[in-house]
Amino acid sequence: MMQTYIQFPLLSLVPKTLLLGVLGVCLHANAQVEHSSHPAKITPTKVSNACQGIGLECANAATPFITKDGKLLLAWTAGGVVSVAQSMDVGKSFSSAVKIAEHGKALDTGSDARPQIVADQQGNIFLAYAFFKDSNWNAQINTARSADGGNSFTSPETLVRDGSSQRFPSVLIKPDSSIFIAWIDKRLIATANRGGEKRLGGSIAYSFSGDGGKTFGTERFANENSCECCRIGGSLDPNGNPVLAYRAIFPGGIRDHATQVIAAKGAEPIRRVADDDWRTDACPHHGPAIAISGSGKVHVAWYTQGSKRSGVFYANSTNQGASYSKPSRVGAEGANVARPYLLASDQHIWLTWKEFDGTKSSVYLKESRDDGNTWSTPILLASTAGYSDHPLLLLRGNEAFLSWLTRDDGYQLISIGQKQ
């Protein structure tokens, strides 16, 4: 068992001046300096803006999970370390952080990477993250478990025994406590390239665990051709089957989105969400979001730079992805719109995203109370001037929350209302 504990309070609660002065772990960021009341004294220094600590105040990504009894579990990556802390008061204060793993610069902190954390009805926790295991930038997914509510975790161990690359874990926990994990797997690409092909991309692989993540069943491929650098979206349908949304590679190198139901007997057909026609070999680092409402309607939001469509879009499907509604634009045309995220409960759908206006990043929200047929006018939820993570949404009982990690304004869990 991991015995290492980090003995410091979570720092979003401490005034920033004190934080910087006392700990000296977080170098001054320009954005913070610009907020000082003495702008005349600022000189364009070349000090690194990188926050160097391992606490939440220096995290690049933080992932929340609400347990059955309403406790917030927060997993984050900062300074090459994966940590977890708990909050009994919806993010106002946190327990001491538990250090799960330390990988330094090898930890995957790409802009679409984030640790995954889920807990079952009894409070057993399962965590997954990726790091780069060799000098060829092959990644490895590690998992760790806690049987005492997050006070201690098992030593991380590899999910897959394979020499190629596994990255971008995406974890769901089913009501029966079984765990589903999907990831981007490069073993097929590696084999093809050894055979002289010059293939790019990865594959969507998945596996289930019936024992809380201690062991996993056979690894299977849902789609052999996917983008290698975008997060996978996942949501459970009313039958309890995971449904994935991801950036596939369609013939001709078209990196458009697909959804796929993963039934007990295996992966169902690949369903294209929209014909955006984004032909590219580039890494967009910008995966989609998916949420499934009580009616089984599949709601998807995604980013594209396709020849037929460019920006962030939303569409839904009433037939498990066999056909999708016409994509509708999210955010204002011409605005810098990014990182959509969805939450669904019964017929109530929330859609959030981030916009940047040249000075501050803002999170917007719109909601639908009729299963995505009509939507409210977007409202501004929060803004920040410094670095920020993707906006995420989650439910705590009947109350919906925005989870947003910001460098300047701390970690925020903001109530966005009751579900209908």
**Closest distance of CB 136 from other proteins, Å:** 8
Give the nearer residue to other proteins in terms of CB position, either 15 or 358.
358
- To other proteins, the closest distance from the beta carbon of 126 in angstroms equals 26
**Residue 303 near residue 357 (C-beta atoms within 8 A):** no
Say how far apart CA 357 and CA 86 lie, in whole Å: 34
Any bridge partners for residue 266, and if so which? 263
Smallest distance, other proteins to C-beta of residue 415, A = 26
CB of 48 to other proteins, least distance (A): 5
Contact criterion met (CB below 8 Å) for 302 and 288:
yes
- Amino acid sitting at position 119: A
Ramachandran category for residue 274: left, alpha or beta (phi over 0 → left; psi -120 to 50 → alpha): beta
- Residues with Cβ within 8 Å of residue 310, at least 6 apart in sequence: 304
| Gap between the Cα atoms of 276 and 325, Å rounded | 13
Q: How far is the CB of 200 from other proteins (least distance, A)?
A: 6
Nearer CB in complex with other proteins: 30/223: 30
User: Which positions touch other proteins (CB under 8 A)?
Assistant: 30-31, 44, 46, 48-50, 60, 105, 108-111, 132, 135, 137, 198, 200, 228-229, 280-286, 303, 305, 336, 338, 354, 356, 358, 361, 386-388, 407
Q: Is the Cβ of residue 48 or residue 319 nearer to other proteins in the bound state?
A: 48
Nearer Cβ to other proteins (124/164): 164
Query: Nearer Cβ to other proteins, position 20 or 267?
Result: 20
Identity of the residue, 272 or 360, whose beta carbon is nearer to other proteins in the bound complex = 360
Output the smallest distance, CB 266 to other proteins, in A.
28
Q: Which residues pair with 310 in a beta bridge?
A: 305
Distance CA 203, CA 187 (A): 8
| Paired tokens of 53 | 């600590």
CA angle 181, 183, 189 (to 5 degrees): 145
CB of 385 to other proteins, least distance (A): 8
Say how far apart CA 253 and CA 278 lie, in whole Å.
8
Q: How far apart are CA 269 and CA 319, in angstroms?
A: 12
Nearest distance from C-beta of residue 156 to other proteins, angstroms: 20
- Tell me whether residue 280 or residue 347 sits nearer to other proteins (CB atom): 280
Q: Which is nearer to other proteins, 133 or 271 (CB)?
A: 133
Tokens of 173: 């926990």
Give phi and psi for 385, each to the nearest 5. Answer: -95, -20
Give the separation between CA 191 and CA 201, rounded to whole angstroms. Answer: 13
